[in-house]
Amino acid sequence: MGGCAAWVLIAAQLFWLNADSAPIRVLSEHFDHRLFLPMIATPGGQEVLNPAGPFQMGCDSGNPAESCMRDEHPLHTVTLDDYYIDRYEVTNGGYGACVVAGVCTVPLFSDAETRPSYYANPVYADFPVIYITWHPARDFCAWPGSGRRLRRNGRRRRGDSDTRQYPWGNSAPDCTLANFNDRERAGLCVGDTDRVGAHPAGQSPFGVMDMAGNVWEWVSDWYASDYYSTAPASNPPGPATGILRVLRGGSWYVSSDSHSVRAAYRYSNYAVVWYSHFGFRCVRAQ
């Protein structure tokens, strides 16, 4: 967090967190749905602590309620170290500060799907930054004023016995829970990005917003179709090489239906590609 420090309440004890001395690492195949956990302020917003522990990675092909993709097999237990994850997707305002600092490049387009002057308009300062390729996302998360890294590929982390399909549980998604294309009922919820945190009913139990819907989120990992069957059981580092990068979470766009906002779903694309529904968030080690 580049010079920031904070008091953090963890397990009913108060700790002084010096961000300059904190090691930085990236998220891997996960996030945890078990608890609502402590948050701290960062230059880009808020972070939520995800403590070390096991989670379920992949998809259960024996569960008739969950339609698995071939690259989501098998469902298995993986253990992770502590990490912090951004509570919100990176916003226009947060990303703009990095541009002003000379670290990040301006998004490739300034308009959104239905909104002229989206990036530079203060009305949309707390909406997710879009038209970002993988490399600027990585640069932002490595920016000293941010003190973080681009998060790692993964099934949103959940407790060892928790097999929820979505951040909020197993109930079918709708427009109160996420900004996506609700093809089965309402169609497009917004038809564009929404303010970060605008769907609090869909947050994870520990308070991370928009992990399903709004914008696809770049992660640091290469895509490998067999990675869930070959990844190590402790702190999986992601494939060493690849052609495509992974994106997670689904988006508001027409191609993002209820299937793509499932926790196990992985999308991939070339790192140089940008769209009006591509964004990101960051993580760092405790």
Residue 254, domain member (yes or no): yes
pLDDT-derived band at 34, boundaries 50, 70, 90: very low
> Do residues 262 and 2 lie in contact, with contact meaning Cβ atoms separated by under 8 Å?
no
Residue 3, domain member (yes or no): no
pLDDT at 99 over 90: yes
pLDDT one-digit tens code per residue, 69-90: 889 988 889 998 888 999 999 9
pLDDT value of residue 163: 72
pLDDT value of residue 63: 63
Residue 5, domain member (yes or no): no
pLDDT value of residue 179: 96
Cα-based torsion angle of the residue sequence 58, 61, 63, 67 in order, rounded to the nearest 10 degrees: 80
pLDDT-derived band at 3, boundaries 50, 70, 90: very low
pLDDT at 27 over 80: no
In DSSP terms, which residues pair with 181 in a beta bridge? 188
In DSSP terms, which residues pair with 13 in a beta bridge? 10
Residue 258, domain member (yes or no): yes
pLDDT at 128 over 80: yes
Q: Which of the pair, 22 or 153, is modelled with greater confidence?
A: 153
pLDDT at 61 over 80: no
- Report which residue type is found at 101: A
Average pLDDT over residues 186-191: 87
| Least reliable range by pLDDT among 33-47, 113-127, 161-175 | 33-47
Residue 11, domain member (yes or no): no
Residue 208, domain member (yes or no): yes
pLDDT at 5 over 50: no
Residue 263, domain member (yes or no): yes
- Spatial separation of the C-alpha atoms in residues 97 and 146, rounded to whole Å: 10
pLDDT value of residue 148: 74
pLDDT one-digit tens code per residue, 222-254: 999 999 889 898 988 889 999 999 999 999 997
pLDDT value of residue 151: 73
Q: Which of the pair, 149 or 266, is modelled with greater confidence?
A: 266
Domain range for residue 39?
A: 22-286
Q: Which of the pair, 64 or 37, is modelled with greater confidence?
A: 64
pLDDT-derived band at 23, boundaries 50, 70, 90: very low
pLDDT at 114 over 80: yes
Residue with tokens 């549980």: 169
Q: Quick one: three-class SS letters along 176-214?
A: CCCCCEECCCCEECCCCCCCCCCCHHHCCCCCCCCCCCC
Which CATH number do you get for residue 160?
A: 3.90.1580.10
pLDDT one-digit tens code per residue, 147-188: 677 776 643 444 444 678 899 999 989 999 999 988 777 789
Average pLDDT, whole number, for the chain? 79
Residue 13, domain member (yes or no): no
pLDDT value of residue 66: 62
pLDDT value of residue 64: 57
Closest among 12, 273, 17 to 3, alpha carbons compared: 17
How many domains does the chain contain in total?
1
> Do residues 41 and 2 lie in contact, with contact meaning Cβ atoms separated by under 8 Å?
no
